DNA sequence: ATGTGTGAAGAGCTTCACAGCC
DNA sequence: GGCTGTGAAGCTCTTCACACAT
């Protein structure tokens, strides 16, 4: 909507886009203050800015990437994260062929120095894109480096202290969800 | 647990691993029948098999991948999906350099033939790993090919008919979640 | 007239607590 | 004794419906 220069948006409109009930939009927003204007709606620019503030995406968060394989490269290549509130400022790998390479302004560093470098730059967020077997150790080392949250692409459980938040991007889980719900709805449609 | 040859597991144990209340495990399972034995717990092998059946992961689901860039390559390289209930059996791209290449038993085909090929093989699931700009069109073509669900790596909204399920893997969304909750909990810890 | 913000009602999910089976 | 399966209670989230602001 911002890109299309729409000035204001109503909860009804937002709800249509999200496929949910307008009340949810209004109630949820209301927990964070009176974000809209009665009779008018929500100011698009202002709403985006407020949500960015609420989420903590302003100023932009520095992120360290560990693992510059296919996934890591894809993340480094994608340039639009900054507008989403974060930026990959460091990348690590243990492959000599990769260390020293520069991808999209980020130079790949030796994973051996991970803890120290993360600490030096006071990085709070880590992205884990290493093979499953190495993931638990790298996660622990990120923790020692002082990160407060980890986003992992490794399809495994990472046991970490409670003060560290972990989220896994798990393709199998999402596929399972799609399979379950689409066959369920297909069955329901038969009635 | 299966890998570690544990025969049975209790709802308490499962709940610990998931960081939730044991009642949830028991109640949720109960919706699908009496999966466990009183005084004993759940048979690990049997439970896995039953959950696979419930989700529809048995037999394995055929998946078509569109877009063989970094992400697509990472998915093709990962060999363990079959044990998770699905298998990438076709891959498409529009780059001549990629078409004809064989990655992990799958030959990359010309994206021009996408609809027909998907229909021929009666594929129900599509993975979208193309640049954002091409995503909406590819999604529509997958639909015409007859898929019932799409998993997308493109960070954009895909408007599709209601009978097609869509899930997006959105890094920015997950990062935002982590940032919000970790600063929130850090603030709570101060009290 | 339009559309937010919000108590109150309604629906759904989680937890308790215990009967029933191993 | 141990652990599931499950009504009932408790709680949270969603929806309704309308006062209020523009």
Amino acid whose CA is nearest the C1' of D15: A23
- pLDDT tens, position by position, for chain B (191 residues)? 999 999 999 999 999 999 999 999 999 999 999 999 999 999 999 999 999 999 999 999 999 999 999 999 999 999 889 999 999 999 999 999 999 999 999 999 999 999 999 999 999 999 999 999 999 999 999 999 999 999 999 987 888 888 899 999 999 999 999 999 998 888 777 76
> Which residues of B fall within a CB distance of 8 Å from A74?
69-71, 74
Mean pLDDT of chain A: 94
Nearest to B55 among A85, A149, A176 (CB): A176
Contact B163 A17 (CB under 8 A): no
Nearest to A165 among B74, B150, B181 (CB): B181
| pLDDT for A46 | 97
Q: Angle A25-B153-A87 (CA atoms, 0-180°, nearest 5)? A: 80
Phi, psi angles (nearest 5°) of residue A184: -65, -45
Nucleotide nearest to A20 (CA to C1'): D14
| pLDDT for A59 | 94
| Euclidean distance between CA atoms A88 and A118, whole angstroms | 12
Residue pairs spanning A and B at CB distance below 8 A: 124
User: Which of chain C's bases lie under 7 Å from a protein CB?
Assistant: 1-7, 14-17, 19-22
pLDDT (mean) for A29-49: 97
> Which residues of A fall within a CB distance of 8 Å from B186?
148, 163
Distances (CA, A) of B112 to A11, A109, A111, B92: 40, 40, 41, 8
**Residue B173 contacts residue B90 (beta carbons within 8 Å):** no
| Euclidean distance between CA atoms B26 and B21, whole angstroms | 9
pLDDT score of A187 more than 90: no
Which residues face A102 on adjacent strands?
Answer: A107
| pLDDT for A188 | 74
A65: number of CA atoms within 13 Å, CB side? 24
Query: Residue A6: pLDDT band by 50, 70, 90 thresholds?
Result: very high
| pLDDT for B79 | 82
> Which residues of A fall within a CB distance of 8 Å from B175?
61, 63, 84-86, 125, 151
**Residue B144 contacts residue B171 (beta carbons within 8 Å):** no
pLDDT score of A191 more than 70: no
Question: Distance in angstroms, CA of B114 to C1' of D22?
Answer: 52
Full set of structural domains in chain B with CATH: 8-54 (1.10.10.10), 61-173 (3.40.50.720)
């Amino acid at each position: 909507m911002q890109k299309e220069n729409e000035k204001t948006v109503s909860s009804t409109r937002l709800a249509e886009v999200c496929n949910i009930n307008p009340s949810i939009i209004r109630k949820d927003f209301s927990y964070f203050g009176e974000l809209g204007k009665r009779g008018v709606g929500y100011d698009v620019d202002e709403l985006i800015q407020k949500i960015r503030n609420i989420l903590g995406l302003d100023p932009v968060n520095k992120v360290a990437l560990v693992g510059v394989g296919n996934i890591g490269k894809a993340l480094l290549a994608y340039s639009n994260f900054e507008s989403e509130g974060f930026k990959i400022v460091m990348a690590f790998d243990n492959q000599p062929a990769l260390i020293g390479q520069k991808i999209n302004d980020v130079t790949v560093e030796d994973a051996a120095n991970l803890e120290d470098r993360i600490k030096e730059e006071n990085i709070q967020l880590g992205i884990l894109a290493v093979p499953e077997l190495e993931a638990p150790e790298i996660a622990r080392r990120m923790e020692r480096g002082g990160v407060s949250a980890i986003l992992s692409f490794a399809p495994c459980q990472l046991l970490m202290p409670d003060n560290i938040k972990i989220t896994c991007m798990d393709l199998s889980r999402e596929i399972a969800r799609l399979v379950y719900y689409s066959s369920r709805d297909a069955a329901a449609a038969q009635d």
